[in-house]
């Protein structure tokens, strides 16, 4: 039986939030991993994820096809995780998530590699969100170039290095008041480790070729319920002040230039107007985490393991009186 060490997996975006979890999952299964990133000198922390020589980083930028073609050379499997939550410079939604996805797909097709592409729940060519439109365009380009590609659409992901739960916990630590945008919008937060496991399973050949999977956690929660859970874990008690989408979008015109946790773009507000949950069609077809035999972890089970650092007492949470 051939060893997985004979299989070369090239991971675009392997240094990001999802990427580092995917690299760890693949290392545990003994694959050889080539991590293609824009700044390989900043991705050295990935080396200890595997054995000596198992992980190799190289430079590649989805906006430059020649670098992508060089990165996929001799690959057996190609995984594209690259995405941007906000635009900046040449890193636009269209450049990265639409044209960039097409570039990776065509390069994978040229070398005969299997392709796994990560999109997002909410990808829709008719969406008013430019992010969601670009995700849909990327999916279309991928299936056109590699019809047998497996596509994963996760809901909002959480985990130790996320920009979701950590962001709201940080804001709750800094301010006694938190704006609540889209409080009734439903989401299905999914643990990043479960998404990484699904991708590794696809590399193993356990996922259906040419299928689109929708990955969500075990619970469907409103945005209000999610934020309430986050601040409770962080042992903070900010006042949640509902904001209309119109007012939030007006404020986002200015906050899109803000640093760190305060940053909010008009497109992010637009995304919050629609539910972000696994569809009934995906459930019926078994194109979910459960369909892959993965029991998803809940926000309540995982988030306390890393959000404790936002508590006033650190690891020790106040007991209710």
Measured in whole angstroms, how far is the alpha carbon of residue 242 from the centre of its chain?
27
User: What is residue 321's predicted lDDT score, i.e. its pLDDT?
Assistant: 43
User: What is residue 154's predicted lDDT score, i.e. its pLDDT?
Assistant: 98
CA distances to 3, 159, 320 from 28, in Å: 13, 19, 41
> Is the residue at 168 inside a domain?
no
User: What is residue 314's predicted lDDT score, i.e. its pLDDT?
Assistant: 75
Token pair belonging to 138:
């990327």
For the entire predicted model, the pTM comes to 0.95
Q: How many residues does the chain have?
A: 321
Token pair belonging to 82:
């690259």
User: What is residue 88's predicted lDDT score, i.e. its pLDDT?
Assistant: 87
Residue 157 gets which letter from DSSP?
E
> Is the residue at 116 inside a domain?
yes
> Is the residue at 94 inside a domain?
yes
> Is the residue at 14 inside a domain?
yes
> Is the residue at 38 inside a domain?
yes
| Enclosing H/E stretch for 16 | none
Q: Cα–Cα distance between 281 and 116 in angstroms, integer?
A: 21
> Is the residue at 256 inside a domain?
no
- The CATH number given to whatever domain includes residue 107 is 3.40.50.720
Dihedral sign, Cα of residue 116, residue 122, residue 124, residue 128: negative
Residues of the chain with confidence (pLDDT) below 70: 1-2, 315-321
Which residues constitute the domain of residue 146?
4-162+189-218+277-297
> Is the residue at 67 inside a domain?
yes
What 3-state DSSP class applies to 140? helix
Q: Pick the closest to residue 298 from 187, 198, 151 (CA basis).
A: 187
User: What is residue 320's predicted lDDT score, i.e. its pLDDT?
Assistant: 53
Scanning the structure block, which residue is given the tokens 């399973």? 201
> Is the residue at 272 inside a domain?
no
Task: Look at the chain and report how many structural domains it folds into.
Answer: 1
């Amino acid at each position: 039986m051939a060893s997985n060490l004979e299989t070369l997996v090239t991971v675009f975006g392997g240094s990001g939030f999802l990427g580092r979890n995917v690299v760890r999952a693949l290392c545990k299964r003994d694959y050889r991993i080539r991590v293609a990133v824009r700044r390989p000198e900043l991705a050295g922390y990935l080396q200890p994820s595997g054995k000596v020589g198992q992980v190799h980083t190289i430079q590649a930028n989805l906006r430059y096809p020649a670098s992508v073609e060089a990165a996929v050379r001799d690959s057996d499997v190609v995984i594209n995780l690259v995405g941007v939550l906000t635009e900046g410079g040449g890193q636009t939604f269209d450049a990265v998530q639409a044209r960039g996805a097409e570039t990776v797909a065509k390069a994978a097709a040229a070398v005969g590699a299997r392709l796994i592409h990560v999109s997002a729940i909410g990808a829709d060519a008719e969406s008013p969100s430019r992010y969601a439109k670009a995700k849909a365009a990327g999916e279309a380009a991928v299936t056109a170039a590699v019809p047998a590609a497996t596509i994963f659409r996760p809901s909002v992901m959480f985990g130790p290095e996320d920009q979701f739960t950590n962001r709201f916990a940080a804001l709750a630590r800094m301010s006694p008041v938190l704006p609540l945008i889209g409080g009734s919008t439903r989401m299905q937060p999914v643990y990043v480790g479960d998404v990484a496991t699904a991708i590794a399973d696809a590399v193993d050949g356990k996922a259906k070729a040419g299928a689109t999977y929708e990955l969500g956690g075990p619970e469907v929660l409103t945005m209000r319920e999610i934020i309430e859970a986050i601040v409770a874990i962080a042992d903070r008690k900010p006042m949640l002040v509902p904001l209309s989408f119109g007012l939030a979008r007006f404020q986002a015109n200015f906050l899109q230039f803000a640093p760190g946790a305060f940053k909010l773009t008009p497109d992010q507000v637009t995304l919050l107007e629609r539910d972000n949950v696994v569809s009934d069609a995906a459930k019926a077809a078994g194109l979910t985490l459960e369909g892959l035999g993965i029991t998803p972890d809940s926000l309540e089970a995982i988030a306390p393991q890393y959000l404790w650092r936002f508590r006033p007492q650190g690891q020790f949470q106040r007991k209710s009186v």
